[in-house]
Amino acid sequence: MEDKKMTENLSEEENQHLEELLDDSGDFDAFKEENEEPEEVSDGFVDDMFEMKYKDKVIVKQDREKKYSMIPKLTQQFRFCGNPFRIDCYKGCDFGCKYCFANASNLLGRKGWQTGDIAQLERFMARALEKDSEGNYVYETNSLSMECIRHRVPFHCGGLSDPFQDREWELGVTYRLLQLSRKYNYPIVFSTKGIIKDPKYWEVMDPKIHAFQLSIISKDTEFLQKYETNTASAEERLAFARELHSKGFWTGIRIQPCIDLQKALELVEDISGDVDYITVEHLKIDVGNPCMQVLFKEQIESGDYKRISTMLFEMKAEKKIRDIEAIKKVSKCKIGVGDNDLHYLSDTDCCCGIDTMGENFDNWIKYNMTYFSHHKDVDKRCLWSPKQSCRECFFKGSFGSKVDLNELKDIDFRQYVEEYCRRHPDFMGRVDSYKFDLFDGFGED
């Protein structure tokens, strides 16, 4: 924010005095002695909003840092995923996992770390769910996110950054999200490599509306440290999983990525009797990232991997299927398969197990390829799907080089799912083309 904008409500004399107080960098340290520090909010965390006053006049009210939008978004994974309504509390992650696709592509590092704008989400939820005396929603909307909230589609928190990373214990954004979900009895699936470090979190966590997926690729901490930095140990995460499960929380384990089959089998044998679900997804190698290229050089050269795009390598399907079969043989719980081409091998209708989490999670999105692969004769007219355009879910290149996204004013949810299924019948365990209503489709085959 420029000084001129901050001080336009001051007189010329006041502005001159103010300029003497401000340092050259534009920071406001000079005010710290004359003005109150940020107030502590009732939950014990520092509120990131602050005011600066000069002679009882408010000269600036702003965030201490640029905030990360916390409006939940439907990701384009809705074509095959029943749990695509993503929300993240932070931009960037303390854990620094070397195999992380978001970190490897620098997706979250271009503009630095940011804190989620929880106040923005609180306002958005209030607006989305406010009803009049007759039970009708007060606000009309063409917002896709608001439509999903009104249908009570569960949030998936932790898709791009960990909600229980180290910053959380100082900033408390996830804590306030837990409080907000309790207020509206709104379901959330948390994906994390973290553990609960503050006992007050247990007081706001509710097993009826909060489910947890703990990511861990091995019970061997030494093996973990080869690929992860600054994460909780294997022992700590497995103890946390067992504690969650013992307290009635739906608890899943995510072996994502599955790098070493033997390590995965050891983990499944150890933990599968103490959790509700295990999801397995194999490693994807981004050779555009020098670190990954060196770290996974052996895998690339093994013959078990194939190039699936200019920069990505993925394990061959036949090898992945053998791994899944081996894991299912030793598991005491159901197994979901997170590989896009093998979702149909999941033991339930969604690879993360959201379909097993209980009645508060029942409004997960079923109109997708994985559900259809398990219910080939379902009457699709009976399945809910958003009516609003899904254009905001996509980015340049989503439909191939021949389609200009700017020319697509609307993208119909059902049509896009149907088109994806038409193109990839093999992803449904079929060799024939899946039949839908006539639709011209997007881009190239």
d(CA 46, CA 310): 45
Are 248 and 270 members of one domain? yes
**Helix, strand and coil percent figures for the chain, each rounded to 5:** 40, 15, 45
d(CA 293, CA 285): 7
Are 192 and 124 members of one domain? yes
pLDDT computed for residue 402 by the predictor: 62
Are 259 and 397 members of one domain? no
Are 367 and 379 members of one domain? no
CA 124 to each of CA 70, 72, 141, 210: distance values in angstroms, whole numbers, following the listed order: 9, 10, 12, 20
pLDDT computed for residue 397 by the predictor: 60
pLDDT computed for residue 396 by the predictor: 64
Asked if residue 424 belongs to a domain, the reply is yes
Asked if residue 286 belongs to a domain, the reply is no
pLDDT computed for residue 112 by the predictor: 64
Tokens at residue 2, please?
């420029």
Are 38 and 164 members of one domain? no
pLDDT computed for residue 262 by the predictor: 98
Asked if residue 339 belongs to a domain, the reply is yes
CATH number at 145 reads 3.20.20
pTM of the entire structure?
Answer: 0.82
Are 224 and 241 members of one domain? yes
**The pairing of beta strand 73-74 with beta strand 85-87:** antiparallel
pLDDT computed for residue 23 by the predictor: 34
Are 15 and 98 members of one domain? no
Asked if residue 314 belongs to a domain, the reply is no
Are 368 and 379 members of one domain? no
Are 111 and 209 members of one domain? yes
Range of the domain at 381: 375-428
pLDDT computed for residue 102 by the predictor: 64
Q: Average pLDDT per run of 10 along the chain, which is 445 residues long?
A: 44 50 35 37 42 43 65 94 96 84 50 85 96 93 95 95 94 97 98 96 98 97 90 96 98 97 98 98 89 90 91 94 98 97 96 98 97 92 95 72 69 91 84 46 45
**Pair 337, 346: CB distance under 8 Å:** yes
pLDDT computed for residue 439 by the predictor: 40
pLDDT computed for residue 28 by the predictor: 35
Asked if residue 136 belongs to a domain, the reply is yes
Number of domains in the chain: 3
Asked if residue 434 belongs to a domain, the reply is no
Asked if residue 303 belongs to a domain, the reply is no
pLDDT computed for residue 399 by the predictor: 63
**Pair 204, 175: CB distance under 8 Å:** yes
Tokens at residue 160, please?
């791009």
